[in-house]
Structure 1
Amino acid sequence: MNDYLELLIFLAGFLVVSIAANQIAKYFAKVKLPLITGLLITGIIAGPFVLGLIPSDAPEKLFFVNDFALAFIAFAAAAELYLKELRGRMRSITWMSFGQLVLAFSFGSIAILYLSDKIPFMSALSMPVKIAIAMLGGSIFVARSPASAIAVVNELRAKGPFTQTAMGVTVLADFLVIIVFAVVYSIAQALVHDIEFNFTFIIILMFELLLAFAFGYVTGKLLGVVLSIRINLAIKSVIVLFIGFGVYWASHFLGLWSTENLNFEIYVEPLLICIIGSFILTNYSRHRNEFLKILHDVGPGIYVIFFTLTGAAISMDILVKVWKVALILFAVRLIAIILGSLLGGFLAKDPWKYNRIGWMPYVTQAGVGLGLATVVANNFPGWGEEFATVIIAVIVLNQLVGPPLFKWAINMAGESHAKAETPDFDGEKNAVIFGLEGQSFALARQLNDHGWKVIIASRKGIIDQGMLNVDIRPIAAITVDEMKKIGVDTAEAVVTLLSDKENYQICEICYEHFGTKDKVVRLNDRANFDRFHDLGALIVEPTTAIVSLLDHLVRSPQAA
């Protein structure tokens, strides 16, 4: 009972810190740094090595939080691999992944082996063990961070060929690194324990990979069944989270059961299962849109929790001890990524404007790399902990440097659709109404009576303004320049009374280029509600609004 009470205290304290971290991280966005960088740094500050708000044993006790988050992140990452959308970028994704995999693994392995005499825990080990350690480190160097990439993409609302390629390579690299690590892990076990490479060894390895694919298929089908049930979306979201956690629990259980009953461990990587399951659901079911809706709604909270906990778990004392070796390995990995990106871009025949910045999205590492380092620490006593120390130090550097680089790359590629900064109030209340009709005239007069300066933007031509006493301006097209001409860039409020397609164009320009404080939309089709809501628009549905008003007058006639 005391253990459960202690766990609840840890969880409650961590959630309070996470809420604060979410608010603090917004200040990092003001200096053009990603939110996740703010979350990581806040986690470090709140962790045991600075303020001590999160105790040193909290991350270990809250392991289930990490399992929930990593499974969800794997779902979200694989959902980006929608083959119909990526078909035009598959050549770039394939060659870029090839370049990254080959060079990151080979450069990392060679560098660790070359530095083995300079790394304290490796210097006295035999050559086969050094080779095993080098290969394990090289395989982890291939790992990326889908969570970080998705968080940056969502923050910037990024879309375009460069972003598609970056996300495709990030997810595919994590898919490949799990397979590569599974192979290297088995080889390392053989090298360290002097086990002969034989047919049985290969059979077990292939069996583990087949199990992962089979479990992934079942997970995808199970997700499809849940999404097909007619229940509240919030309940579906909770079930999806628990399915992800269940994958981790089943993987841990299978490892323990096989060790006790078969005298060898069957290791099935839960991240690989979740990635395969999400990929199958996304590409081979009719539930993709609803799945994306769940990922979009739940994602921000998951990222706050995951990156704050990751920051708190970073051992700053370890980083201080091995910072020189970590810096060298960080530099080696960075060089490998740059060369791998140039090689992949050249083979894919991508334009130079993408190739010159093509390495920047792939520096970040987080969940998968940390998870694989932990696997080594737990399964190779004697040097596993020290190995994880060095690798985690490199991952810390990658995680602090990587997200800002990805953000800058998206901006340099011109694919950012983030909200512009809202201009300061100039003392005059301005509003622009799009649409020339009776409702726009009535609204303009009413706002004028309350001290607003109102402009009606018309695409129908100009009628006699003198009789209407309203400022009507023609607008030739819905573009940034045309909207600037009529003063939309300085307006406090914009009201759109056109078609949903035109209304969305206006709201998107106001969001991305002008930072307009208030955007009011008259909605024509309920199916477009979420699109406008994501842009922070205030939405009026005419039918619902009239029914609500009539209901209010019936129940409270004195209000009339």
Structure 2
Amino acid sequence: MIGFMIVAIASNQIAKVFQRIKFPLITGFIITGILAGSSFLNFIPKRAIDNLEFLNEIALSIIAFSAGAELYLDDMRSRINSIKWMTIWQLVITFFLTSFVIYFIADQIPFMAEMEEAVKISVAILFGTIFVARSPSSAIAVINEMRANGPFTKTAIGVTVVEDVLVVILFAINFSIAKMLISGEEINLLFFGILFFELIASFGIGYVTGKVLEFPFQFKLDKNMKGIIVIFIGYFVYFFSNFIVGFSKELLGHEIILEPLLIAIVGSFVLTNYSKHRIEFKEVLEYISPVIYIVFFTLTGASLSFHTLISVFGIAVGLFLLRLITMILGGIFGVVSAKDPKKYTFIAWMPYLTQAGVALGLATIVSTEFPGWGHHFETIVIAIIVINQLLGPPLFKWVLNYVKESHLKAKSDLKESTRDAVIFGLESQSIALAKQLEKQNWSARIISMEDYDLEGEHKCEIINNFNPTVANLKKLNLDKVEAVVLMLTDEKNYILAEKIYENFGTKDIIVRLNQHENFEKFYKLGALIIEPSTAIVSLLDHFVRSPNATSLLLGMDDNQDTMDIEIKNKDYHGLRIRELRLPTDLIILSIKRRGQMLITHGYTRLRIGDVITLVGSKKSLEETKIKLNP
């Protein structure tokens, strides 16, 4: 156990290297597991994998909880018709066509060639079932990254989540059929009656599990404690299912097989849709999931044979293409049946390529139940999942851009500091800000949505009666200004902030917040947020504790100031801070690199593009700016 924990820690670090070269994290976990397994370093021998089976069960339960937590009905109502038809056709065509084709090409797949007909049918329907599985976590990650929203996006996430739940039910049925076919037992009405009872029992126990899951969220517990309780409940689902199998065999002479994945999904669904703890439950799952994925995928990699993986990779590519064809067909039929726009016809399949946790979990169950050929089966599935993970997210991103539902930050044309600011909102504070900026050699324009005839002298440029359409905003050249300040109502500020973010990519969007509950949506746009009430309290606090520093930062000392300087002089690239020949009256406050603040010391090396914040005399600041940013 200690040895595996060390390997898991190493796996986390190695996976981050894979992520830097645009590979999925799970690829790094699996490869680390293969290296640590019996194929290479043997840090995790085969006998140890059997002893660590309980970790697999914990991981599978958490993966199932996560799948159920994504099935939130209120989010699907607006696109229910499209979700229904796309789900039906994707599931039906993918399952039946892949199962049919795999059965008829079984002789071309080495580990299936010598099988009996009943076993070939079993393997084919298990492949077909797992090919239906999707990856909600990967889809949600892409949607969040692209800030995507719209009918196509809602349909995509809805279908992904629903299919990931339905595949567990489909697997429970087909897994039972496969076991009966392989054992040679007769499939009759009694078999289907028992299977129906097992599914109903799994749903019922799942409902109870959902109520039990609410328990830790009814108390003010630490997030770590809540996570531990959720993990314990997940493990108990597997423990109880295994107990029922043994108990029923002893009492009735027949195994009653509950489906723990289905129990966990139903429990999570119940909590998500019929309790007030949905958001908190999802936060806990997101908190514990990284560790769960590290353990699960690393252990899966360790159980693989590298030689087997290489030998089946060509087959995996062929089956990947087969699955791809069925998804394209499913997408076409889904769009036609739902009467969605025709432009979706040949691209509707693209969001559904990616697979991850549930697919691999089901393959692991097959491998455990059928050790003879199960390892080959699992290895092929893992190879297909890796291909899907490499191609799926880029395709999803492309199609979101194609249907114009991504809302990424636009690229700014700002190539150097222009000291140009645009202020939206005409009032005393905006005029005072513009005058203050002009004293610091900035150019400031004030944009008013109404027609104001202000009395008194002011040198600020004011544009009245401005209609903030994208076309009019382009006339302000917002892609070439350094900062935009929004001083309107929160509703108007947000509409403007989104337009500026998506169309112009202005370097800094500064928002004066009116209501605290709107903080989060501005924060997601990367805006710099000033909340007047808390800002005043914070300012007074700093005046009390550090009056000299606060006076300096506010520019109350005529001879002192602060300045952000972007390093563009190549002579300073790679230079250590301690090697800079700065005037003695300057102090470095911070360095920002690629949007991240650095904890600096004398040996920190500078890089082209770093933004260095200095405080000191105005004369020294100007001299230093000429050197660093000529």
Match of 1:417 among 407, 420, 432: 407
Match of 1:364 among 334, 354, 359: 354
Counterpart-to-counterpart distance in 2, 1:405 and 1:253: 40
Matched with 2:242 is 256
Match of 2:85 among 86, 95, 98: 95
**Partner amino acid, structure 1, of 2:124:** A
Deviation at 1:401, TM superposition (A): 1.7
In structure 2, relative to structure 1, the CA distance for the partners of 1:268 and 1:541 (3 Å cut) is farther
Contact persistence 1:244–1:274 (CA under 8 A): no
Counterpart-to-counterpart distance in 2, 1:80 and 1:190: 33
Higher alpha-carbon deviation: 138-147 or 486-495: 486-495
TM-score with structure 1 setting the length: 0.85
Contact persistence 1:496–1:520 (CA under 8 A): yes
**Partner amino acid, structure 1, of 2:11:** F
Contact persistence 2:55–2:296 (CA under 8 A): no
Counterpart-to-counterpart distance in 2, 1:471 and 1:212: 70
Deviation at 1:398, TM superposition (A): 2.1
Deviation at 1:466, TM superposition (A): 9.0
Q: SS of the residue aligned with 2:108?
A: coil
Matched with 2:391 is 401
Unaligned runs of at least 5 residues, structure 2: 552-630
Deviation at 1:147, TM superposition (A): 1.7
Counterpart-to-counterpart distance in 2, 1:516 and 1:219: 49
Q: SS of the residue aligned with 2:76?
A: helix
Matched with 1:381 is 371
Deviation at 1:170, TM superposition (A): 0.9
Matched with 2:11 is 14
Matched with 1:333 is 323
In structure 2, relative to structure 1, the CA distance for the partners of 1:348 and 1:181 (3 Å cut) is same
Match of 1:439 among 421, 429, 441: 429
Contact persistence 1:128–1:191 (CA under 8 A): yes
Unaligned runs of at least 5 residues, structure 1: 29-36
Deviation at 1:162, TM superposition (A): 0.8
TM-score with structure 2 setting the length: 0.77
In structure 2, relative to structure 1, the CA distance for the partners of 1:42 and 1:394 (3 Å cut) is closer
Matched with 1:323 is 313
Give the total of aligned pairs: 541
**Partner amino acid, structure 2, of 1:253:** F
Contact persistence 2:90–2:132 (CA under 8 A): yes
Contact persistence 2:490–2:513 (CA under 8 A): yes
Q: SS of the residue aligned with 1:460?
A: coil
Higher alpha-carbon deviation: 40-49 or 111-120: 40-49
**Partner amino acid, structure 2, of 1:13:** A
Deviation at 1:347, TM superposition (A): 1.4
Contact persistence 2:447–2:464 (CA under 8 A): yes
> Residue by residue, what CA displacement relative to the aligned partner does 1:446-473 show, whole Å, maximum 9, x if unpaired?
2222232222221123546992111223
Counterpart-to-counterpart distance in 2, 1:549 and 1:307: 49
**2:211 corresponds to 1:221:** yes
Counterpart-to-counterpart distance in 2, 1:64 and 1:500: 51
Matched with 1:32 is none
Which aligned pairs between 1:535-546 and structure 2 lie closer than 5 A? Answer: 535-546=525-536
Contact persistence 2:241–2:260 (CA under 8 A): no
Contact persistence 1:74–1:271 (CA under 8 A): yes
Deviation at 1:230, TM superposition (A): 4.6
Higher alpha-carbon deviation: 444-453 or 415-424: 415-424
**2:99 corresponds to 1:109:** yes
Q: SS of the residue aligned with 2:446?
A: strand
Counterpart-to-counterpart distance in 2, 1:311 and 1:510: 46
Counterpart-to-counterpart distance in 2, 1:195 and 1:446: 86
Matched with 2:232 is 246
Higher alpha-carbon deviation: 203-212 or 59-68: 59-68
**Partner amino acid, structure 2, of 1:209:** L
Larger RCO (CA under 8 A, 6+ residues apart) = 1
> Residue by residue, what CA displacement relative to the aligned partner does 1:253-295 show, whole Å, maximum 9, x if unpaired?
1343244443366554444334333333333233445556666
Counterpart-to-counterpart distance in 2, 1:436 and 1:306: 57
Rg larger for = 2
Deviation at 1:555, TM superposition (A): 3.8
Which aligned pairs between 1:32-47 and structure 2 lie closer than 5 A? Answer: 37-40=23-26, 42-43=28-29
Deviation at 1:518, TM superposition (A): 2.2
Counterpart-to-counterpart distance in 2, 1:302 and 1:448: 52
**Partner amino acid, structure 1, of 2:91:** L
Matched with 2:338 is 348
Name the structure where helix makes up a greater proportion of residues. 1
> Residue by residue, what CA displacement relative to the aligned partner does 1:206-255 show, whole Å, maximum 9, x if unpaired?
34323332333234334445444455xxx34x455445433441233134
Counterpart-to-counterpart distance in 2, 1:70 and 1:420: 40
**Partner amino acid, structure 2, of 1:262:** S
Deviation at 1:70, TM superposition (A): 5.7
The sequence identity of aligned pairs, in percent, is: 46
Contact persistence 2:418–2:481 (CA under 8 A): no
